[in-house]
Amino acid sequence: MIDIKDLIAEPEKYRASQRARGADESAVDAVIAASESRAAAITRFETLRAEQKAFGKKVAQAQGEQKQALLAEVKQLAADVKAAETEADAAQGQLDTLTRSFPNLIHQGVPAGGEDDFVTLRHEGQPRDFTAEGFEPKDHLELAEALGAVDMERGAKVSGARFYFLKGIGARLELAMMQLGMDQALEAGFTPMITPTLVRPETMNGTGFDVEHDDEIYRLERDDLYLVGTSEVALAGYHAEEILDLSAGPQRYAGWSTCYRREAGSHGKDTKGIIRVHQFNKLEMFVYCSAEDSVAEHERLLAWEEQMLAKMELPYRVIDTAAGDLGLSAARKFDCEAWVPTQGTYRELTSTSDTTTFQARRLNIRERTVKEDGSKGPTRPLATLNGTLATTRWIVAILENHQQADGSVRVPQALRPYLGGLEVIEPVSSK
């Protein structure tokens, strides 16, 4: 949720943010007008209620016909107070509706535009020249099936399209990658978490997902619960309605969970293999920190993601995502995209977002400030950030970039200790 006071004080910067997102600038004026209406309605209600209390004392002191006349006025005043209260509640509801749908204020420097308007910040690593090596690279699914690592056919038989089984070395490879990521997170001071994958609507809404209109989300109607697409949701809700002590620095969590996405609107896109699937595993970093520290913490999250990609020995690029592709809660998002040889392009493997105080305001998470004399100060909204440290999709880039002419796949050095020292994954004779 945005800071309404800040929007009222500096509406032009919010209009500029909306323009960059390709969103409706008039939403700024709508919020301001709703805030003014709310303030006027509350003032009217409180004035009438004060008048009602004062009138009550007059009635108590009156006698006879005067008292009867005053009682009639009291009845009308009570009706006016009730109407004013209803009006104030309606004005509050209108303001809440507008602010809940208003996207976060983007950071200065975020590129304007939509999905294709990102800015490439840098390239790391050099894609292999398979032509020079004398063979045509195979795609990840052909490799995975030959290695006995993935079974798409039986996944579809059991659960439908875009489901799969990771088996044998495929299952081991994912577990190795996730455990490597968790070990790195532990070294960086993160608390490991195995998170719920079903959450309440207030948790999903509080994180910034629109449960009424987001076609990506799976809902269990009987229980009014939602399957998460990332452990960010559960980790954001973990401290809802709490006041945190951040005097010792940010609180960092690494959440390991299964994730679910409907992939609505992606029909015909990446239907082959495990790039776009309905279920996958992910290790997600989530941070609570002071608002003024969020930009620096965002850079740290990106560095930890790049550290993992370097361990996977993958060529990749880092992009600054354009404002119109940020989603509701992010003020800035960096993506790391690995080279996929058979597609001749870069595909997203990680993303890290600075959501500033947006989620914390929606979930009522605050930090306790400390005065110069060391005593407790007032509370204030804190910042939250998230970033991917490993996920199932990485297997695509690992298999394609490390394949060899005979169909085997070289195991990155960092993963070998988690695979019993295995250096090369060899094709199997049958499925």
Q: Are 226 and 198 in contact (CB under 8 A)?
A: yes
Q: Are 62 and 73 in contact (CB under 8 A)?
A: no
Catalytic residue among 348, 380, 408, 426: 348
For residue 342, the cross-strand partners are: none
Question: In angstroms, rounded to a whole number, what is the distance separating the alpha carbons of residues 182 and 294?
Answer: 22
**Annotated catalytic residue 276:** yes
The string of DSSP letters for 139-198 reads: PHHHHHHHTT-EEHHHHHHHH-TT--EE-THHHHHHHHHHHHHHHHHHHTTPEEEE--SE
Residue 25 assigned as binding residue: no
Residue 353 assigned as binding residue: no
Residue 73 assigned as binding residue: no
Strand residue runs (E) in 180-314? 191-194, 198-199, 218-220, 225-227, 243-244, 251-260, 279-289
Residue 280 assigned as binding residue: yes
Question: In angstroms, rounded to a whole number, what is the distance separating the alpha carbons of residues 339 and 234?
Answer: 31
Catalytic residue among 261, 300, 361, 366: 261
Residue 263 assigned as binding residue: yes
**Kindly report the CA angle at 234 between 228 and 240, in degrees rounded to 5?**
140
Residue 38 assigned as binding residue: no
**Annotated catalytic residue 128:** no
Residue 407's CB is within 10 A of a number of other CB atoms, namely: 15
Helix (H, G, I), strand (E, B) or coil at 273: coil
Question: In angstroms, rounded to a whole number, what is the distance separating the alpha carbons of residues 356 and 293?
Answer: 9
Helix (H, G, I), strand (E, B) or coil at 408: coil
Q: Which residue has the tokens 């404002």?
A: 323
**Annotated catalytic residue 222:** no
Residue 261 assigned as binding residue: yes
Residue 401 assigned as binding residue: no
Catalytic residue among 15, 38, 332, 393: 393
Residue 258 assigned as binding residue: no
Residue 281 assigned as binding residue: no
Catalytic residue among 351, 353, 362, 367: 351
Catalytic residue among 49, 276, 347, 368: 276
**Annotated catalytic residue 351:** yes
**Annotated catalytic residue 261:** yes
Residue 278 assigned as binding residue: yes
Closest CA to 332 of 369, 302, 371: 302
Helix (H, G, I), strand (E, B) or coil at 239: coil
Residue 257 assigned as binding residue: no
Residue 386 assigned as binding residue: yes
Residue 199 assigned as binding residue: no
Residue 380 assigned as binding residue: no
Q: Which residue has the tokens 């040889």?
A: 341
For residue 279, the cross-strand partners are: 260
Q: Which active-site residues does the annotation give?
A: 261, 276, 348, 351, 393
Pick out the residues of the known binding site for L-serine. 230-232, 261, 284, 386, 388
Pick out the residues of the known binding site. 230-232, 261-263, 277-280, 284, 348-351, 386, 388
Pick out the residues of the known binding site for ATP. 261-263, 277-280, 348-351
